Amino acid sequence: PITACLFDLDGVLVDTAKYHYIAWKRLAEELGFEFTEQDNERLKGVSRMASLDILLEIGGLAPDEETKLDLAAKKNAWYVEYISTMDASEILPGALEFIQSLKERGIKVALGSASKNAMLILNNTGLTPYFDAIIDGTKTQQAKPDPEVFTLGARELGVPTESCVVFEDAEAGIEAATRAGMRCVGIGSPETLGRANLVISSLEGFTVDRLLGLQEK
């Protein structure tokens, strides 16, 4: 039976992708090259340092490790400044309603995010109290598509992995869920998320009954 749901944060519960984008774009401009919205697609769900490597590749730059750490810190400081003004109005449509309905039906709820800034976002949007377990980028050693973030979530909830369903907007996250032995709902377009058990465009209107229908799959 399905007894727990694990949620990715960025792109599933909140749209922080736009803040990541303007911070990376600002860094690229300072380094002297263009960074487009299309380029930014490659960064979704990817860890901070891996994102920086992609950005530098786009700009044709190869700085040393120390400079890279400085650049990542600079981008993060801007990003933290942008998300510090976030509030509950930036929770994506349907997300809070769905989480509330899970709680009413006794289904456990966990966070499985790559972000080291997850707590700031959860606190600013008022989402923190809804989670029975929170696994973020400060608790993991391996980035998605490694399954670690989700297996740790199941362990902290005390449920078997096969009873968990993951909600993800990134291909790397769907692969991580599959490798963890969990079912997965993709949020976005079927072209990129085709490997999920079910793909929906958003959590708006999504119900617990539809979730439980995945048990037969």
Within 13 Å and on the Cβ side, how many CA atoms surround 204? Answer: 7
Find the binder of Mg ion among 39, 136, 169, 171 (CB under 5 A). 169
9 binds ligand B16 (CB under 6 A): yes
Shortest distance in whole angstroms from residue 173 CB to Mg ion: 6
| d(C-alpha 188, C-alpha 105), whole Å | 26
Strands 4-7 and 164-168, bridge-based pairing: parallel
Quote the longest CA-to-CA distance of the chain: 53
Shortest distance in whole angstroms from residue 209 CB to ligand B16: 26
Q: Which is nearer to ligand B16, 41 or 105 (CB)?
A: 41
178 binds ligand B16 (CB under 6 A): no
| Residue 87 a catalytic site member | no
153 binds ligand B16 (CB under 6 A): no
CA R_g for the chain: 17
| Residue 8 a catalytic site member | yes
Shortest distance in whole angstroms from residue 60 CB to Mg ion: 27
108 binds ligand B16 (CB under 6 A): no
| d(C-alpha 147, C-alpha 91), whole Å | 25
Q: Which is nearer to ligand B16, 128 or 212 (CB)?
A: 128
Q: What is the DSSP letter of 168?
A: E
Contact footprint for ligand B16 (CB under 6 A): 8-11, 20, 43-48, 51, 76, 113-117, 137
